[in-house]
């Protein structure tokens, strides 16, 4: 008996990186998973890996910032698997600038993907969650559900040059703590994981490969200056950046039954690094 057998999970931004690792981890523990990405090919690769391992998976392709995405995402879960137990808000990217050079477009892009998109997904899920909790209470059952919002140490401590990104990530911390209070009566644990340096496309050294992500019609530069990564690594007590699989392990903690009495918390997964 795997710990998530019978559970249904949706994971935004799960075509690559941390989101992909989380989707694969949840599936390995028995959850049926809805995978999302802007890139149909990336989402398809995650889905194929889950299927090859014997898991059940569906896909919901699209931009999480689209006004109808939250409704589509939740509907995919209910139509494909007739339930929804775990929500992981992972989709995001960084479009960096110092305040005097930051455009309105950059600011709203960061708030849209890191705050508004998770809000719409959670709002779309609320009707199902409230109805399911009432039905289970009437039947004398208690079923715990999980929300895990992916955050960053930038949202906790700030980071020079990342005003919009840090503000968006700080917003989801406030959302996490508020929703934990609102949804506790429905037996939902709502928590966040704040990551430090995790080795993904977003944190690759500039000059090491593909440094441009296509976000809709935008081309956003990915990567971090190598000297900055070196300095950060020296400040991590474990002496290295984390892997997506290690990041997924931190998120999984809040999806597992062991977290049934933990809610409204932010777990720092940074190898010991504090800004």
List of residues 6+ apart from 135 with CB closer than 8 A: none
List of residues 6+ apart from 228 with CB closer than 8 A: none
Exposed, middle or buried by CB within 10 Å (0-12, 13-18, 19+), for 221?
exposed
**In the chain, where do the E strands start and end?**
8-11, 32-37, 57-61, 86-89, 145-152, 188-195, 212-215, 218-221, 266-269
Q: Which of 93, 165, 186, 197 is catalytic?
A: 165
**How many Å from the N-terminal Cα to the C-terminal Cα in the chain?**
40
Is residue 212 within 8 Å of 239, Cβ to Cβ?
no
165 is an active site residue? yes
Question: What does DSSP say about strands 218-221 and 212-215: parallel, antiparallel, or unpaired?
Answer: antiparallel
- Smallest CA-to-CA distance from 252 within 126, 133, 90 is with 90
Q: Measured between alpha carbons, how far is 169 from 105 in angstroms, rounded to an integer? A: 17
Is residue 75 within 8 Å of 48, Cβ to Cβ?
no
> Which residues belong to the active site?
165
């Amino acid at each position: 008996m795997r710990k998530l057998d019978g559970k249904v999970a949706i994971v935004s931004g799960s075509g690559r990186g941390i989101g992909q690792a989380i989707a694969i981890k949840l599936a390995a523990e028995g959850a049926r998973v809805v995978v999302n990405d802007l890139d149909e090919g990336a989402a398809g690769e995650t889905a194929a890996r889950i299927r090859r391992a014997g898991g059940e998976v569906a896909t919901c392709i699209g931009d999480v910032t689209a006004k109808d995405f939250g409704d589509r995402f939740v509907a995919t879960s209910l139509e494909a698997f007739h339930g929804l137990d775990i929500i992981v808000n992972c989709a995001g990217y960084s479009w960096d600038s110092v305040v005097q050079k930051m455009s309105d477009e950059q600011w709203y892009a960061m708030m849209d993907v890191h705050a508004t998109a998770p809000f719409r997904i959670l709002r779309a899920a609320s009707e199902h969650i409230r109805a399911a909790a009432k039905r289970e209470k009437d039947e004398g059952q208690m079923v715990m559900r999980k929300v895990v919002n992916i955050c960053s140490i930038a949202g906790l401590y700030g980071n020079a040059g990342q005003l919009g990104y840090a503000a968006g990530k700080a917003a989801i911390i406030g959302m996490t703590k508020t929703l934990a209070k609102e949804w506790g009566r429905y037996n939902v644990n709502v928590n966040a994981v704040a990551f430090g340096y995790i080795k993904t496309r977003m944190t690759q050294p500039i000059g090491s490969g593909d440094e441009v992500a296509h976000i809709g019609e935008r081309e956003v530069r990915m990567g971090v200056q190598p000297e900055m990564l070196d300095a950060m690594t020296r400040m991590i007590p474990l002496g290295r950046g984390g892997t997506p699989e290690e990041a997924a392990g931190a998120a999984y903690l809040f999806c597992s039954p062991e977290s049934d009495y933990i809610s409204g918390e932010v777990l720092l997964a940074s190898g010991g690094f504090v800004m």
